[in-house]
Amino acid sequence: MTARTASLWQFRQPSVIPGFGLALGVTLSWLILIILIPLSGLAWRSSALGWPTFWALATDQRTVNALRISFGTAFAAALVNVVFGVILAWVLVRYRFPGKRVIDAMVDLPFALPTAVAGIALTTLYAPNGWIGSLLAPLGIKIAFTPIGIVFALIFVGLPFVVRTVQPIMEEIDKEVEEAAATLGANRFQTIRRVLLPGLAPAVLTGFALAFARGVGEYGSVIFIAGNLPYISEIAPLLIVIRLEEFNYPAATAIAAVMLVISFAMLLIINTIQAWSRRRYGYGA
Amino acid sequence: MAHDAASHGGTGNTELVRVATSEHRLARYGLIGLALCFVGLFLVLPLAAVFTEAMRNGPGEFFTVLSDPETFSAIRLTLIVAGIAVPLNLVFGIAAAWAIAKFEFKGKAFLTTLIDLPFSVSPVISGMVFILLFGSHSLIGPWLQSHGIQILFAVPGIVLATVFVTFPFVARELIPLMQEQGTSDEEAALSLGASGWQTFWYVTLPNIKWGLLYGVLLCNARAMGEFGAVSVVSGHIRGLTNTMPLQVEILYNEYNFVAAFAVATLLALLALVTLVLKSLLEMKYSEQIAASRRH
Amino acid sequence: MEVRVQNIRKEFSRFPALNDVSLDIRSGELIALLGPSGSGKTTLLRLIAGLESPTEGTVYFGNEDASRKTVQQRNIGFVFQHYALFRHMTVLDNVSFGLTIRPAGRRPSKADIRKRALELLDLVQLSGLEKRYPAQLSGGQRQRVALARAMAVEPNVLLLDEPFGALDAQVRKELRRWLREIHDRTGHTTVFVTHDQDEALELADRVVVMSKGKIEQIGTPDEIYDTPNSPFVFGFIGQSNILPVRVENGQLWLDDRSIGVSATGEADGPAQLYFRPHDIELLDGCGGCIAGIVTVTRRVAGTRHVELDIGATHSKVEIELPPEKVTSDHSRIAFRPTRWKLFRN
Ligand SMILES: Nc1ncnc2c1ncn2[C@@H]1O[C@H](COP(=O)(O)OP(=O)(O)O)[C@@H](O)[C@H]1O
Ligand SMILES: [Mg+2]
């Protein structure tokens, strides 16, 4: 009886493989030291502010604007990336053309290129006197030093998230499903719109969420191109940095807490949708 | 590509058949064109801009900038930071993957989520948490100060922030890979009398080495290139606490564009080398690299 | 609808998967393409569907040349081995798909589509499951959804590629009978591919035996089983024994002994004698018989299988005996084939 209860409540299943204690010990210590203690410090600091102070800091107009800009531009960039990321993944999976290998490898550039480098490079391109900016300036289109510039930087940063999430799922598409649609009379457009894209939806959603989450927190590639005008093109991470430099830790803490809560809530929602999709359709991403 | 015209080796009316699983020729060309334009505009052009701007005043000035002592110290600091952060996370990654992939225990899924946590935290916040922890307003700040231990605005703080940011890279590459490989190889080795360390060294490690290298590669790229987190804790002391990305920022903000892009060129080269190695690994050892290709 | 395949050749990068294949499929019949893996069955089916295009040759639907039509225009129903259901659609939406995507002019009303889909689900005995998703169904249920989906468009011809290939033996057997019933009720011209001879012989009106990209024989199950016209068909369908014999003066000889079987009209010379294990008679003495030493006996359901070692060449032969006939190892048995066929190289 006792043995049975013990096995019911057993922490881990028995195994002949050694090293569980050591491996888990190292993992947990490192996790607690590097991640959990610092993050809980942030949680503790923000709760120490007290609700009225926190609310006042979080609803400060400059903060609200900065959060709005960060989330808004990240959302717009993630949307653009969904469209072009899916097209890019499709082209890479389905078509053959010269230079495909290189393009495929280039997609990971934003993962590998330091964000500060990306930031100054994009600024050079899109500033009014830059390579592309100077072409657009006569048309009255301004990209750098406006929120559009932020969106452009976040498109750069987020692209691989969408492509790399969608691409493997596309590779696994069963060709017979497309053929089944065709035998039932669906033309190519109908097959793509009604059969293929809905099947990709969970992966696209995941890619969107990853790109969005990354965009909200992005700093290095944005600050050069954004112009950083308070209330207009100042992102939340930059406002945190400014508050830290002013030694205004409560304000910085409040902004950080709001960003983290919203980001985690987003991820939670996405995970829930994924789990639901897997239960219902038997697939997620 | 199973869907390409060439695989229908027949000389028959292949265009009629292709409508089943492929797009019209024009749509194909259109999509390829669109994708190429997008990649060109957002990926290739920025990269080209880095190199072009660095060489704007000729290679002479380029090399003068690179031989500047400040640049040199930034390179040195970057190498030191990556040299500490990457091995630490390598050890952690192997330990975490061993515990998670080879054993079944309660709370495993939660632990995996925690390991991924740094991916969803803004780099700026990643740096900021250490300011809150070690700053003069914090609990241990005054104690550290009185004992003359400098963490913030010094190398330890930069290392800590970098470790935080690159924390999941190796682990998340290894976990799916080792889960896929299961435990039978290890069990076989143990049953033949190998010790735990021997099993790891002679059985597990050879199985995961390419995946491990892949994770280290990505971890290193991020460690050397991290900007936001490091920027918050570094204090921007010239010649002392500036890593290469920070040096780029300082030079750029001083309108010293050629110098900024010259340093950026080094980082861009690092990125290109990373990409080439990454592609090579994916091409040659795709089965030995975990399925998860996102970061 | 009647479907005619005429002198079809299909190459995959020079490799001929089908070589000069011709086949007339009669309206309303249930015809099986039977052959070992790689014999070109799927390729033939996909050519009829329009999922592949022939290197040479023509496919006619009725009197119309279908080769100029895309798969969408041919209006066929195709059932894939691995179901190929749309995972994100309910069972009902899967079945309705072919109707809902029709251009407005030819599309039935929403209510009619729903009614038709529900009727079909009733026909395939899946009533009540219309709101489920494919992931929530068993393999057999999925394949029935796939069949209902294919039938919803009132196809000219129904093409099934190893429809039960991915299911376990029990479900296979059930679905086999059930497919025959559905066919008898709906009367669709149906071509189904299988590598399982029991399935083909039990289910089909006619069986097309294929091998290496060619049609070996077309006939009713009885014809295929009782009068195979090639060594391949004889060997592929059912069990068979092969003995090297000689024809001399209208008599068959094994080694130096006549086996008491006359082959009048056959030219003299060496030949291969094919016969089935159960097409034999036991003999007591041996004046004109095949005699062998028992090496193994096995009881298989209602019969006793006996393996014999025959003659100087030690050829192996298996015969079926009634179970009450007990034989011991190393004992001698004499028999003579009652139904057989001679093939020459
Ligand atoms: N798309 C293709 N490309 C190249 N060869 C193919 C293709 N499809 C089939 N084949 C070849 O054609 C032959 C017949 O294949 P198939 O019709 O699938 O046989 P079956 O369905 O009888 O098993 C096989 O040798 C197969 O390898
Ligand atoms: Mg087949």
- Evaluate if residue B16 carries a pLDDT over 80: no
Copy the structure tokens of residue C329: 């190892």
3-state secondary structure of B145: helix
Q: Which residues contact C155 (CB under 8 A, 6 or more apart)?
A: C75, C76, C77, C188
Q: In the β-sheet with C280-283, what is the strand arrangement from edge to edge?
A: C280-283, C332-337, C290-300, C303-310, C315-321
Q: Left (φ > 0), alpha (ψ -120 to 50) or beta: where does C14 sit?
A: left
Average pLDDT over residues A150-167: 95
ipTM of the complex: 0.90
Distance B10 CA to ligand 2 centre (A): 19
Beta strands in B162-287 (DSSP E): none
Domain C241-343: which CATH class?
mainly beta
B with C: how many residue pairs have Cβ under 8 Å apart?
Answer: 45
pLDDT in tens, C74-114: 999 999 989 999 999 999 999 999 999 999 999 999 999 99
- Evaluate if residue B117 carries a pLDDT over 50: yes
Say if domain A50-280 classifies as CATH 2.40.100.10.
no
- Evaluate if residue B10 carries a pLDDT over 80: no
Ligand 1, CB within 6 Å, residue ranges: C 12, 17, 35, 37-43
Note whether C134 contacts A174, CB cutoff 8 Å: no
Q: How many Å apart are CA A158 and CA B282, to the nearest integer?
A: 21
| pLDDT at A285 (0 to 100) | 61
Note whether B128 contacts A39, CB cutoff 8 Å: no
Which is higher by pLDDT, B137 or B86? Answer: B86
Provide φ and ψ at C23, rounded to 5°. -160, 130
| pLDDT at B2 (0 to 100) | 38
| Separation of first and last alpha carbons in chain A | 43
Provide φ and ψ at C326, rounded to 5°. -90, 130
Nearest to B241 by CA among B83, B67, B81, B125: B81
Q: What is the DSSP string of C63-127?
A: TEEGGGS-HHHH--EEE-TT----TTS-HHHHHHHHHHTS-GGGPPPHHHHHHHHHHHHHHTT-T
pLDDT in tens, A250-276: 999 999 999 999 988 888 888 888 888
Q: How many Å apart are CA C152 and CA C186, to the nearest integer?
A: 12
Identify the bridge partners of residue C161 per DSSP, sorted by sequence position.
C193
pLDDT in tens, C156-190: 999 999 988 878 888 888 888 889 999 999 899 99
Task: Return residue ranges of chain C for CATH 3.40.50.300.
Answer: 3-236
Copy the structure tokens of residue B157: 């703080």
- Evaluate if residue B6 carries a pLDDT over 50: no
Q: Are strands C30-34 and C206-211 parallel, antiparallel or unpaired?
A: parallel
| pLDDT at B17 (0 to 100) | 67
Q: Could you tell which of C9, C12, C52 is best to mutate to test the pocket of ligand 1, judged by most ligand atoms within 8 Å of the CB? A: C12
| pLDDT at B19 (0 to 100) | 63
| pLDDT at A255 (0 to 100) | 95
Identify the bridge partners of residue C257 per DSSP, sorted by sequence position.
C254
Task: Supply the residue whose CA is at minimum distance from atom 11 of ligand 1.
Answer: C17
Return the residue of A nearest to C107 by Cα. Answer: A185
User: CA angle B178-B180-B181, nearest 5°?
Assistant: 65
Task: Return residue ranges of chain C for CATH 2.40.50.140.
Answer: 241-343
User: Looking at chain B from residue 142 to 161, which residues have their Cβ under 8 Å from any Cβ of chain A?
Assistant: 160
Distance C18 CA to ligand 1 centre (A): 9
Note whether B17 contacts C56, CB cutoff 8 Å: no
Q: Which chain A residues have a beta carbon less than 8 Å from that of B159?
A: none
Give the count of alpha carbons within 13 A of C39, CB side only: 20
* Under-50 pLDDT residues of chain C: none
Copy the structure tokens of residue C240: 């068979």
SS (H, E, C) A1-12: CHHHHHHHCCCE
Task: Supply the residue whose CA is at minimum distance from atom 3 of ligand 1.
Answer: C12
Q: Alpha carbon of A235 to those of B124, C11, C87, C241: distances in Å?
A: 11, 61, 41, 84
Task: Mutation target for C interface from A169, A179, A184: give the one with most C CBs within 10 A.
Answer: A184
Beta strands in chain A (DSSP E): none
Q: How many Å apart are CA A108 and CA B278, to the nearest integer?
A: 9
| Ligand 1 atom at minimum distance from C36 CA | 22
- Residue C104 is given by DSSP the state G
Task: Supply the residue whose CA is at minimum distance from atom 5 of ligand 1.
Answer: C12
Nearest to B229 by CA among B157, B134, B169: B157
Q: Left (φ > 0), alpha (ψ -120 to 50) or beta: where does A254 sit?
A: alpha
Copy the structure tokens of residue B183: 């435990």
Note whether A112 contacts B46, CB cutoff 8 Å: no
Average pLDDT over residues A176-181: 94
| pLDDT at B14 (0 to 100) | 61
Q: Does B291 touch chain C (CB under 8 A)?
A: no
Architecture category of domain C3-236 in CATH: 3-Layer(aba) Sandwich (3.40)
Give the count of alpha carbons within 13 A of C60, CB side only: 13
Average pLDDT over residues A187-203: 92
Contact partners for chain C, using 3 or more CB pairs closer than 8 A, are A, B
| pLDDT at B58 (0 to 100) | 85
| pLDDT at A271 (0 to 100) | 82
Shortest Cα–Cα distance, B21 to chain C (Å): 9
Shortest Cα–Cα distance, C202 to chain B (Å): 33
Say which residue the tokens 């995961």 belong to. B208
